[in-house]
Structure 1
Amino acid sequence: MELAPKLRRIGNDIIACHIVVGDDGLTVIDTGLPGHYRDLVRELQELGRPPTDIKGIVLTHGDSDHIGFAERLRSELGIPVYVGAEDAERAKGAKPPATPKDPRRIGAVVRFFAYAIAKGGFRTRPLREVIAVHDGDVLPLPGSPRVIAMPGHSPGSIAVHVPSVQAVFVGDELTTRHVLTGAEGPQPAPFTDDQAGSSASIERLSGLDVDWVIPGHGAPWRGGTSSLIAAYRSAEGRPAAG
């Protein structure tokens, strides 16, 4: 699905990953679940590009619903996979810590887990090799993605700023559709390791010149970062900084 010229979406508001399209190749941001591989192939066919045009994968964090087909592309095609240094072991299969129980609504929970099962959520292969990245790194990939450290959802969560498509990909540092309640709009994401840290990290988006703020779950946000942060703070029940 085309979001904008040179920016494509795979999946839906339950789980999504993205492709940055460049003349010099493609950069994949997150890889959803194993079943999203077929969606990737269809998207590449629409673009008229082979899988070998993918020059790298950038993971916003190491959770299982973001690493889905990454190991397949890495092992079969030698495509490098980049992840925040503190999430490298999680991407390789280390079990995340238990998180506080999040609010739930049965309909939303059933839709989330039914979709995850349909997309092969129990078949996710951990990464065997990753390239660790750090705050401020500009990666040698199409679009020149820049890493913004945003610890909270997980220790190595990052945002990926791609100026060429006026977008920042925020993974699960926030959501615009809560997978366990169905609530829409910018808000804290469930399954978060450190919610206070995540809340503080949101301010790192302030001042970014982007048209798109794109989470891993929920609709892309097109209102700029100031309005997004204000909406997030409202959902938290406290005012925006400044």
Structure 2
Amino acid sequence: MRLAPNLYRLGNDIVASYLVDTPEGITLIDAGLPGHWRDLQRELRTLGKSADDIRGLILTHGDSDHIGFAERLRSEHGVPVYVHAADAARARTGEKPKTPFGKMRIGPTLGFLGYSISKNGLRTRYVSEVTEVGDGDVLDLPGAPVIIGMPGHSPGSVGVHVPAADAVFVGDALTTRHVLTGRTGPQPAPFTDDPDEALASLDRIAGLEASWVLPGHGAPWQTSPAEVREAVRKG
């Protein structure tokens, strides 16, 4: 799905990842579920590109619904996978603390589970090798993405600011569609390790210049990061 001239979304409002296309090559942000590999191939064909044009994949955090095709891309095409050091073990092993589900409705919850199963979400391949990054790093990838530490959802959750795409990618630092309740609009994401820290981390993106705030779940939000922060806090 094309959002802007060099900005594309893979997946849908249930689970999404993103592609930034530049003359220097492609940067991916998140890898969704394993079955999104076909979505990636379809988008690449539309662009007249292939996986060999991908220079790097950045994970906003290490949860299974964000690392879907990462290991396949790394092992079959040699694409480096970047993740914050604090989430490196999570991306490699899947180990994470149990968190309360919170509010849920049966319809949206079953929809999320059903979609995950349809995209091979029960067959996660963890990432054998990762390149660790930290807050403030500017990566040598197309679009010069900047890593913004946003701990809370997980210790190594990050935002990824890509000025060339006029966008900040936030993973599960916030959501615009709650996968367990179906509620839409900017709000805290479920399955968050430390909800208070996650809310505080929204300050980290408030001053960024961007027209798109792009979550891992929910509709793309075309507004400023500062406005999204205030919307989440007002709830």
Q: TM-score, normalised by structure 2?
A: 0.99
**Aligned twin of 2:209:** 209
Query: Per the alignment, in what secondary structure is the counterpart of residue 126 of structure 1?
Result: coil
Q: Any unmatched runs of 5+ in structure 2?
A: none
**Aligned twin of 1:148:** 148
**Cα distance in 1, alignment partners of residues 61 and 213 from structure 2:** 16
Aligned AA (1:35): G
The one-character-per-residue Cα deviations of 1:14-60 (angstroms, maximum 9, x if unpaired) are 00000000101000100000000000000000000011000000000
User: Once the 2 structures are TM-superposed, how far is the Cα of residue 70 of structure 1 from its aligned partner?
Assistant: 0.3
User: Once the 2 structures are TM-superposed, how far is the Cα of residue 101 of structure 1 from its aligned partner?
Assistant: 2.8
Aligned AA (2:89): E
Aligned AA (2:75): S
**Aligned twin of 1:116:** 116
Decide which moves more: 221-230 or 181-190.
221-230
**Aligned twin of 1:8:** 8
CA RMSD across the alignment: 0.6
**Aligned twin of 2:194:** 194
* Count of aligned pairs: 235
Aligned AA (1:117): I
Aligned AA (2:218): G
**Aligned twin of 1:184:** 184
Query: Per the alignment, in what secondary structure is the counterpart of residue 218 of structure 2?
Result: coil
Does the aligned pair in 1 maintain the 2:99–2:192 contact within 8 Å?
yes
Does the aligned pair in 1 maintain the 2:70–2:81 contact within 8 Å?
yes
**Aligned twin of 2:34:** 34
Superposed structure 1 runs of 4+ greater than 2 Å apart: none
User: Once the 2 structures are TM-superposed, how far is the Cα of residue 225 of structure 1 from its aligned partner?
Assistant: 1.7
User: Once the 2 structures are TM-superposed, how far is the Cα of residue 102 of structure 1 from its aligned partner?
Assistant: 1.4
User: Once the 2 structures are TM-superposed, how far is the Cα of residue 100 of structure 1 from its aligned partner?
Assistant: 2.1
Q: Does 1:43 align with 2:53?
A: no
Aligned AA (2:184): E
Aligned AA (1:31): A
Query: Per the alignment, in what secondary structure is the counterpart of residue 228 of structure 1?
Result: helix
Superposition map of 1:44-59 within 5 A: 44-59=44-59
Q: Any unmatched runs of 5+ in structure 1?
A: 236-242
